[in-house]
Amino acid sequence: MNESSVTARLFEVIKKMSEDEQLTLLKELAERFSKGRRKHERGPFFMVTDYSTEDRVYRDYIQNLSASGVFIETRMPFTAGQGVSLAFPLPNYQKYIKIIGEVARVTPQGIGVKFKIVNKQQEAMIKSLLEWLTSTKR
């Protein structure tokens, strides 16, 4: 079956469904396509970061940031689930944010790290940083 005949067959099947069945199918498809999508939008944030695992310290660059994590450009080997501790400067403060996270994604370009925010101060610092980044885009 080629692509156009598959599409045509899908339309035939959907046309024969009741409106309730179509709404249920639409909801299921929307859920399927939203899985794996980010909860929080990432924005560019080029910043040096020092980070460590149980046995080693690294220095690389954060490429982007969201409320839930960062993407760090690195060629070092990591595995999903690996714990990391991060420290990076806040451009709108004269201090560093220190936060722990977990490697959520590994690509040839680097690692996606999901934050494990443990207190309100960390949450406030990330929120403030995101607000600063948004205001500098204008």
Condensed to tens digits (0 to 9), the pLDDT of residues 14-51 reads: 899 999 988 888 878 777 665 555 556 677 888 899 99
Nearest to 105 by CA among 131, 72, 60: 72
> Are 50 and 106 contained in the same domain?
yes
> Are 18 and 50 contained in the same domain?
no
Question: What is the domain range of residue 8?
Answer: 3-34
> Are 27 and 85 contained in the same domain?
no
Query: For 84-108, how does the pLDDT look when each residue is reduced to its tens digit (9 = 90+)?
Result: 999 998 776 678 889 999 999 999 9
> Are 88 and 114 contained in the same domain?
yes
Confidence of residue 82 (pLDDT cuts 50, 70, 90): very high
Return the structure tokens found at 127.
Answer: 């929120």
> Are 47 and 23 contained in the same domain?
no
What is the rounded distance in angstroms from the CA atom of residue 69 to the CA atom of residue 72?
10
> Are 30 and 56 contained in the same domain?
no
> Are 18 and 48 contained in the same domain?
no
Give the total number of structural domains in the chain.
2
Which backbone phi and psi does 42 adopt, to 5 degrees?
A: -95, 145
Return the structure tokens found at 41.
Answer: 């939008």
> Are 65 and 22 contained in the same domain?
no
Confidence of residue 124 (pLDDT cuts 50, 70, 90): confident
pTM of the model: 0.68
Residue 93: CA count within 13 A, CB half-sphere: 14
DSSP character at residue 2: -
> Are 30 and 47 contained in the same domain?
no
DSSP character at residue 68: T
> Are 9 and 28 contained in the same domain?
yes
Alpha helices in the chain (DSSP H): 3-16, 19-34, 120-137
